[in-house]
Structure 1
Amino acid sequence: MTTGVRRAVRSLVAAGAIGAALCATAHAQMTLDRVTIGTGPAGLLYSQIATALTSIIQDKTGIPSTARPHGGTSQYLPQLHRGEILLGINSGLDASSAYLGKEPYPQAMDGIRAVLAIAQANYSFIARANAGIETVGDMKGKRVVTAYRTLALFDDVNRALLETAGLTEEDITPVAETNVPDAIQALTSDRVDVTAAILAITAHREADAAIPGGTRVVGLGPDDAPVDALQGFHVGILEPGPGTVGVKEPTKIAIYDSYLNTGVHANADDIYEIAKITYENWAAMQKAVPALRGMTADDLVPARISHPFHDGAIRYFREIGLWTPEHDKQQAALLKQG
């Protein structure tokens, strides 16, 4: 073996040793053998987010990581509470209701903790673009989907949207559908005049293409208070653009946060690392899931939190300056409620 070859071999061995050491360091920071994230049905937004995040976690730590789909997001909240699953993605409204034991949850699951806000979804009513329905106030007397049989929590949300224009269900003809895609299909088949919907999801895009003239996102009324009173919701303005559907001009809508959740039983160092990996690789998350491109990494800690954060996540976000005294105040108030 020549001197040059020996040097090359020694360099390769050294590089391998360094790589092994780095991998060992990454593993030493986490106590887990596996990372599992519970999601809703495969193919929907939460499943897409979890698949992208588990890929990044596995790449950065070497720990096997998978997304586990469920029929509904409420199915794994009890598992998070009991510490039977490490992570799950839920709306802030769902997680808050479970934490406090509000309907439809028969008892409080006070072991649920947030790691970070992982997505923001746009929500409002939609109508046929040629129906002349531009704001909620124009919906009086119309057939409107206001209830989903499998998403009872959103019945209150839909009533709050009506209240922004001073309307109640007595002012419309309320209709119930099984879920959001079915509600949008009811609009496409002309069984209803208006439906509440998560905006720009696949079902909305398909309806916009199928309906002559397309769809129109219905603007909320002038009173923001009913929406702002909902846990995890706030009012925002949706601008027209290539990522939107049915938006003709700046339109007032509801926006809700979805969280990556865990349980109080989770190791603080593990949750610290998961929060850190997500924050530092947010650009990669946005590349993998275009629906996340409206959020910045700093949006992972909302100004208004819907349920308590895990101590490990708080430690990381405090270190980088995102966790504020106002968050401490909210955290303390939420813990007293639990």
Structure 2
Amino acid sequence: MVCRLNMVTHQFVHDIFVEYSINWLARRENMFQERRNTIATLSAAAVVVSIGFASPVWAQQRVTIGTNQAGTFYNQIGGLMATLVQSKTGVQSTSRPFSGTSVYLPQLHRGEITFGINSALDSSNAYTGGGVYKQPLNHVRAALLVYRAPYGYFAKSSSGMKTIADLKGKKVIVTQRAIASFDKFNEAILATAGLTPADVSPVTVSGVVESVRSVTEDKVVAAPLLLGIPLLREADAAIPGGIRVLAFGPNDAKLDELRGITTMILKPAKPLVGVKEPTKVARFDVYLNTGSDISADTVYKVVKTVYENWGAMQKQMPPLRGVKPADLVPVRMSHPFHEGAVRYFREAGIWSDAHKAQQDALLAQMTK
């Protein structure tokens, strides 16, 4: 109704302007002001009526999911979830790409977007005000764990490099401004081979897309990236000889200090370009996040929709098949879950005393 009234208003003003002279309009300015005031009043009334008749269970009129740039795995997950939520609930839902996850975490905190996809590390740092976050973004909440992502450094196969130790003295991307919390992550990866940023020539780029381009254009020899994503597969196809994922060294101490991060042995598989042999890399938890100011009903409905259709999502996106339904609600959480998510978990019988203890401890951090 609001949109229809606005369209009528613009058409009316346009028709009057064409038909009469500027002087005529000037003499009747008061008349138009009265009409504009009347329309504004009607518009406000329409909003009140719309809110008054909204469903008490599903009041959210639009769901927006923040993601990384197009071509990234986060963007694919966000798009798939938006399609699922819209098809199952009828609520308009869309994914919105940003230059990086650190860009939209503050928007989640302020309730400016409904959901966003973030790593456990970035989420934990944002919630507590750690790392690059100078103030706690303590309204950030988890909705679901959605993926455990393999991550590591890649280089051109033609470079001859095979391990992280081979990066010593070379130009390497360490900082991605749009994924600010990953500085420490990348430094911890270097540390597995006994290296520090001082042992390489560290380079800063804007984000994921520039990281890939920097390797393909020989501006750097290696860059860190989520492995198996379409962007990396495109790079592998474009580079003569393809790419190679570099194996970590034996020292995991720095990685163990980071929340939501473990190591794994990645085996060669078709989507995992650059993995030439069983290769030690990192793995980090990825969450669908929201903000504490988003209504519990909205979060409940989205979590219920995703959880109950997880099998269908796995069929459409094979990398998700490694995440079992039980994994979607980890006990060792990096930041607290939203009350709407907890409500669904309790109803589904998947919220334990151990979950509650972790939740209470994380919430208590913000009351000290």
Query: Which string of whole-angstrom CA distances, capped at 9 and with x for unpartnered residues, describes residues 43-69 of structure 1?
Result: 533332222212222222222222233
Match runs of 1:240-259 below 5 Å? 240-259=268-287
Q: 1:201 to 1:296 in 2, by over 3 A?
A: same
Q: Which segment drifts farther, 297-306 or 216-225?
A: 297-306
In the other structure, the counterpart of 2:197 is: 169
Provide TM-score, normalisation by structure 1: 0.83
In the other structure, the counterpart of 1:106 is: 134
In the other structure, the counterpart of 2:291 is: 263
Secondary structure of 1:323's counterpart equals: coil
Secondary structure of 1:53's counterpart equals: helix
Match runs of 1:1-338 below 5 Å? 29-338=57-366
Query: What is the percentage of aligned positions where both structures have the same residue?
Result: 50
Provide TM-score, normalisation by structure 2: 0.77
Secondary structure of 2:178's counterpart equals: coil
Distance in structure 1 (CA, Å) of the matches to 2:272 and 2:326:
23
- Find the structure with the greater CA-based Rg: 2
Query: Which string of whole-angstrom CA distances, capped at 9 and with x for unpartnered residues, describes residues 207-236 of structure 1?
Result: 222333222111111122322321222212
Q: How many pairs align? A: 312
Query: Which string of whole-angstrom CA distances, capped at 9 and with x for unpartnered residues, describes residues 269-312 of structure 1?
Result: 33222212111111222233344233222221234211111122
Query: Which string of whole-angstrom CA distances, capped at 9 and with x for unpartnered residues, describes residues 82-113 of structure 1?
Result: 33332222222222222112243332121111
Query: What is the CA distance between 1:130 and its match in structure 2?
Result: 4.0
What is the CA RMSD across the aligned residues, in angstroms?
2.3
Distance in structure 2 (CA, Å) of the matches to 1:179 and 1:83:
24
Distance in structure 2 (CA, Å) of the matches to 1:172 and 1:79:
34
Query: Which string of whole-angstrom CA distances, capped at 9 and with x for unpartnered residues, describes residues 179-206 of structure 1?
Result: 2332222222333332222212233222
Stretches of structure 1 lacking an aligned partner (at least 5 in a row): 1-26
Query: Which string of whole-angstrom CA distances, capped at 9 and with x for unpartnered residues, describes residues 6-36 of structure 1?
Result: xxxxxxxxxxxxxxxxxxxxx6642323322
Q: Which segment drifts farther, 160-169 or 208-217?
A: 208-217
Q: 1:283 to 1:234 in 2, by over 3 A?
A: same
Distance in structure 2 (CA, Å) of the matches to 1:117 and 1:150:
21
Q: 1:237 to 1:327 in 2, by over 3 A?
A: farther
